[in-house]
Amino acid sequence: MIRASIVGGSGYTGGELLRLLHFHSQVEVAQITSRELGGRYVHSVHPNMRGVSRLKFIHPDALNACDLLFLALPHGTAARSIERYAGLAPKLIDLSADFRLDSAAAYERWYGEAHPAPDWLERFVYGLPEANRERLRGADFVSGVGCNATAVNLALSPLARAGLMQRAVIEIKVGSSEGGNKSNAGSHHPVRSGAVRTYKATGHRHLAEVQMILGCEIPIHFAVTAIEMVRGVHLLAHCYLKESVAERDIWRLYRGGYRGEPFVRLVSGKVGLHRLPEPRVVAGTNYCDIGFELDEDGAHLVVVAALDNLGKGAAGSAVQAMNLMFDFDETTGLEFPGVYP
């Protein structure tokens, strides 16, 4: 049993962490912080935890030492206080973008400012278990993952590893929770409801994580569009292959690539309503569903993937990484299959 605390627990990711950790058999949530909500019960912000957790928010300055700190802070915040947090716990998981990239130059290019703690970048392991499982075992410092990047990396990894993909053009549709819990002009209900708004047609910063995991050699382009959905990432990728293949070859590639992966499910049926992945099916879970259809020419493959941006795209992957860090069973606390309908 370990004692873990959550820094920045009032946001959606912090609330999802609290929910997952509360039901984890090997974790006691010791403290949860909020600068603005100190003294209030967590269920005042995360109403699903009413009658479940009696924790109250504390001010970050009142944090005590623990075994593991989850940092669920706005981008750029954790890096400016990383020395303090490392002094409070021997192991850290930072869910922001502060330590995802492996170089200060890449961070400055994609985030528009110099990294506040560049010497720490090489100490962090990128927290995608499907890509970095062995490095995560026993690691002390782990970064979170970008939700859109995770959808791309998991959807295309088998093709990239096989050297089969020439290029990919991707449309990603996302729910409103991806924008966080702070209101803005775009989240105002009369504006957001019913919207199909492309807010990043090129140059999304999550592409940096894709290039880091899949490599820079393959041209990958993606646009991100906000739709009428709360939780979820839906990916549709047009993959142009170097040669014509048969559908059985694609099946062999994906089954081989994800054999034994507990949270990647292949979904590609010929009939039925759910023959391809859909975000609502994975809402509240740590699953990423992946499916595909091969065009008649055998050289154009459409890959479809779905995940929960707060689950597999954030808190779920973080808990999965924690399980590896502490040598727990990798699926502990993450077995929830979602609800349907």
CATH number of the domain within which 305 lies: 3.30.360.10
173: in domain: yes
Mean per-residue pLDDT, 198-211:
96
User: How many CB atoms are located within 10 Å of the residue 255 CB?
Assistant: 11
Q: Which pLDDT score is estimated for 187? A: 82
Backbone angles phi, psi at 329, to 5 degrees: -60, 130
Q: Quick one: 204 and 291 in the same domain?
A: yes
Residues 6+ apart with CB under 8 A from 78: 7, 71, 85, 94, 96, 98, 99
Give the chain's count of helices (H) and strands (E).
10, 14
Q: Quick one: 157 and 118 in the same domain?
A: no
Crossing angle of the two packed helices 12-22 and 316-325, in degrees rounded to 10? 50
142: in domain: no
Q: Which pLDDT score is estimated for 146? A: 98
Q: Which pLDDT score is estimated for 3? A: 98
Average pLDDT, the chain: 96
What's this model's pTM, rounded to 2 decimal places? 0.97
The CATH number of the domain holding residue 17 is: 3.40.50.720
CA angle 195, 199, 205 (to 5 degrees): 145
Residue percentage of the chain with pLDDT more than 90: 93
223: in domain: yes
Q: For residue 297, is pLDDT > 90?
A: yes
Mean per-residue pLDDT, 140-164:
98
183: containing domain: 147-309
Q: Quick one: 255 and 182 in the same domain?
A: yes
- Nearest Cα neighbor of 199 from 156, 152, 240, 148 is 148
Q: Which of 66, 147, 239, 288 is catalytic?
A: 147
135: in domain: no
pLDDT digits (tens, 9 = 90+) for 230-280: 999 999 999 999 999 999 999 999 999 999 999 999 998 888 889 999 999
Q: For residue 183, is pLDDT > 80?
A: no
Q: Can you tell me the distance from the alpha carbon of 149 to that of 213, in angstroms, rounded to the nearest whole number? A: 9
Q: Quick one: 116 and 22 in the same domain?
A: yes
Q: Quick one: 190 and 249 in the same domain?
A: yes
Q: For residue 16, is pLDDT > 90?
A: yes
317: in domain: no
Q: Quick one: 179 and 111 in the same domain?
A: no
Is residue 147 annotated as part of the catalytic site, yes or no? yes
Q: For residue 210, is pLDDT > 90?
A: yes
Q: Which pLDDT score is estimated for 70? A: 98
336: in domain: no
Q: Quick one: 222 and 285 in the same domain?
A: yes
